[in-house]
Amino acid sequence: MKSVKLHFLGAAGTVTGSKFLLETDEGNILIDCGMFQGIKDLRLLNWQDFNFPPLEIDLVLLTHGHLDHSGYLPRLFKQGYKGPVKSTAPSLAVTSVILMDSAKIMEEDAEKANEEGYSIHEPPLPFYTVTEAEKTIEYFEAVEIDTWYKFSNNIGYRFLRNGHIIGATFIEFEITGKRIVFSGDIGREKDPLLPPPYKPQQADYLILESTYGDRLHPEENIEELLSGIVKDILEKRGILIIPSFAVERLQHIMYILWKLYEKNKIPNIPIFIDSPMGNDILGIFSSYPAWHRIDPGELRKMISHFNIITSYGDTWKTIDDNRPKIVVAGSGMVTGGRVLTYLRYYLEKPETYVILIGFQAEGTRGRQLQEGAAEIKIFGKYCKVNASIKHLQSLSAHADQQELLGWLKEIKNKPEKVFLVHGEPAASDFLRLKIKDTYSWPVHIPHLNETVELLL
């Protein structure tokens, strides 16, 4: 092996657009293939040609199915990639749901923007279509967990469980005796739905996420907060809206609300789950019981407790329903999906509560609400924010700083380099200092499209 180059094609200096390419004499492997989300300058990067010839990529591996790790796949195929996409079976199931759902939303948003004339693009186009998503899914190939696969004479790889969401992994490479580890997104140690992440034992080079590298998740009494809000909306005849990530956080908040009802801490208030993608993910939980902690019987009872909305017509019936209620709807950063319809109608009402769950990326409506915006733009029109906004960080699916440092502690050798990715600049730099002080390891924060040569 003469050389190995590592290209940082996304999630460098930002939390979105994860794409890392290993360029070797024996072939080229892309680890994750995510879309950029958030501020306009990042979103515009999605429309640029891929920064490495897609025809020269031999293999794509996905750590997990979130859009910022998989959402660029249809564009990669459109630009000429022709190889397989490999990950665990539940991750590929999640990716399939997310690609199809996002394609439908993109087509609907483009059509709506065209009809109402609020897009600056002429004509408004979806980033990819349903047909393109379907063609991409045809190339998916499932792998087994904790099993070494041979890519070439000197390169092998394996997937290990990582918490975060169902099916999520980190990926280890063995290249001429050196271990290269891509962390993906690392989950929580005490997630009620998922087992704790495995920990790497060796890493000569480590590509590590740093989403919450500068903070600890607070200890929050979520049950007390939610039961108090439910009491308040019952008195005021209001509504609690929870924008939720369809994968894991929606199932997590359903589990919390179900347990509150079981413990008689909240009454049998109508709870509507309005996320077609989230409903599909519930099906994945049912199909892969070995990947989560909920007993199959309890999972069925939990699902039957909620009003599952399947059509957009039922969304409007729910809005017209004047009873106090809870609505859990996608998307988690308020960037699209059904939750926008509810917020457009209810955000100006002071008897409304909105609970934000987990990380809100820069430039998203969720971040604007979190930071106290007086109004936000929905479907081309500004809506005043008179609702009460709460932000729960303890429900995040990402490890915090302490958990990230703990994830490293079983590595027995001293890495030649740690690369911090998937974090905003302040978070990455803070984690860099903590790793240096805790482990005395060399750490580098790469910039977008930087290429480094790994010494093997």
Expressed as residue numbers, the domain containing 83 is 4-215+397-454
Q: Are residues 316 and 226 in the same domain?
A: yes
Q: What is the pLDDT of residue 101?
A: 87
Q: Which residue has the tokens 């693009």?
A: 121
**Distance between CA atoms of residues 76 and 82, nearest Å:** 9
The helix/strand/coil state of 298 is: helix
Does the pLDDT of residue 122 top 70, yes or no? no
Does the pLDDT of residue 67 top 80, yes or no? yes
Does the pLDDT of residue 99 top 90, yes or no? yes
Q: What is the pLDDT of residue 386?
A: 98
- Of 392, 407, 428, which residue is a domain's last? 392
Q: Which is it for the CA torsion 236, 238, 244, 249, positive or negative?
A: positive
Q: Which residue has the tokens 């999972």?
A: 299
Q: What is the pLDDT of residue 97?
A: 95
Q: How confident is the model at residue 301 (pLDDT cuts 50, 70, 90)?
A: very high
Mean pLDDT of the 238-243 span: 96
Q: Which of 142-151, 177-186, 239-248 has the lowest mean pLDDT?
A: 239-248
Mean pLDDT of the 420-439 span: 97
Q: What is the pLDDT of residue 119?
A: 57
Q: What is the pLDDT of residue 279?
A: 86
Eight-class DSSP state of 58: -
pTM of the predicted protein model: 0.90
pLDDT digits 0-9 by tens, 218-228? 888 999 999 99
Tell me how far the alpha carbon of residue 327 is from its chain's centroid.
21
Does the pLDDT of residue 65 top 80, yes or no? yes
Q: HSE-up of 214 (CA within 13 Å, CB side)?
A: 10
CB distance 100 to 173 below 8 Å: no
β-pairing verdict for 4-8 and 20-24: antiparallel
- Of 354, 377, 392, which residue is a domain's last? 392
pLDDT digits 0-9 by tens, 243-297? 998 888 899 999 999 999 999 999 999 999 998 888 899 999 999 999 999 999 9
pLDDT digits 0-9 by tens, 348-390? 999 999 999 878 888 899 999 999 999 999 988 999 999 999 9
Q: Are residues 349 and 408 in the same domain?
A: no
**CA nearest to 366, candidates 256, 241, 274:** 241
How many other CB atoms are found less than 10 A from the CB of residue 205? 22
Q: Are residues 402 and 356 in the same domain?
A: no
8, 54, 67, 308, 375 from 365: Cα distances, Å: 27, 33, 17, 25, 10
Q: Per residue, what are the HEC states of 208-227?
A: EECCECCCCCCCCCHHHHHH
Q: Are residues 164 and 249 in the same domain?
A: no
**Distance between CA atoms of residues 197 and 302, nearest Å:** 25
How many other CB atoms are found less than 10 A from the CB of residue 196? 17
The helix/strand/coil state of 386 is: coil
Q: Which is it for the CA torsion 237, 238, 244, 248, positive or negative?
A: negative
Token pair recorded at residue 110: 């483009």
More confidently predicted of 10 and 359: 10
Q: What is the pLDDT of residue 117?
A: 63
Q: Are residues 200 and 334 in the same domain?
A: no
Q: What DSSP line would sit under 14-52, residue for residue?
A: SSS---EEEEETTEEEEE--PPP-SSHHHHHHTTSPPSS
Does the pLDDT of residue 195 top 60, yes or no? yes
Does the pLDDT of residue 445 top 60, yes or no? yes
At 338, which CATH number?
3.40.50.10890
Eight-class DSSP state of 151: E
pLDDT digits 0-9 by tens, 384-419? 999 999 998 888 889 999 999 999 999 999 999 999
**Distance between CA atoms of residues 299 and 199, nearest Å:** 28
Q: What is the pLDDT of residue 118?
A: 57
Does the pLDDT of residue 48 top 90, yes or no? yes
Token pair recorded at residue 80: 């000429």
Percent of the chain with pLDDT over 90: 83
Q: How confident is the model at residue 1 (pLDDT cuts 50, 70, 90)?
A: low
- Of 392, 423, 444, which residue is a domain's last? 392
CB distance 34 to 69 below 8 Å: yes
pLDDT digits 0-9 by tens, 316-359? 999 999 999 999 998 888 988 889 999 999 999 999 999 998 78
More confidently predicted of 287 and 312: 287
> What are the backbone dihedrals phi and psi of residue 353, each rounded to the nearest 5 degrees, phi first?
-115, 140
Q: Are residues 344 and 251 in the same domain?
A: yes
Q: What is the pLDDT of residue 174?
A: 97
Token pair recorded at residue 408: 């490293």
> What are the backbone dihedrals phi and psi of residue 48, each rounded to the nearest 5 degrees, phi first?
-80, 155
At 17, which CATH number?
3.60.15.10
CB distance 180 to 173 below 8 Å: yes
Q: Are residues 94 and 227 in the same domain?
A: no
**Distance between CA atoms of residues 203 and 412, nearest Å:** 8
Q: Which is it for the CA torsion 57, 61, 66, 68, positive or negative?
A: negative
Where is 282: in which H helix or E strand? Answer: helix 276-287
Q: What is the pLDDT of residue 304?
A: 93
Q: Are residues 112 and 24 in the same domain?
A: yes
Q: What is the pLDDT of residue 320?
A: 94
Q: Are residues 187 and 294 in the same domain?
A: no
Q: Into how many domains does the chain fold?
A: 2
Q: Are residues 44 and 191 in the same domain?
A: yes
Q: Are residues 305 and 252 in the same domain?
A: yes
Residue type, 86: K
β-pairing verdict for 271-274 and 325-329: parallel
Q: Are residues 193 and 324 in the same domain?
A: no
**CA nearest to 194, candidates 288, 286, 293:** 293
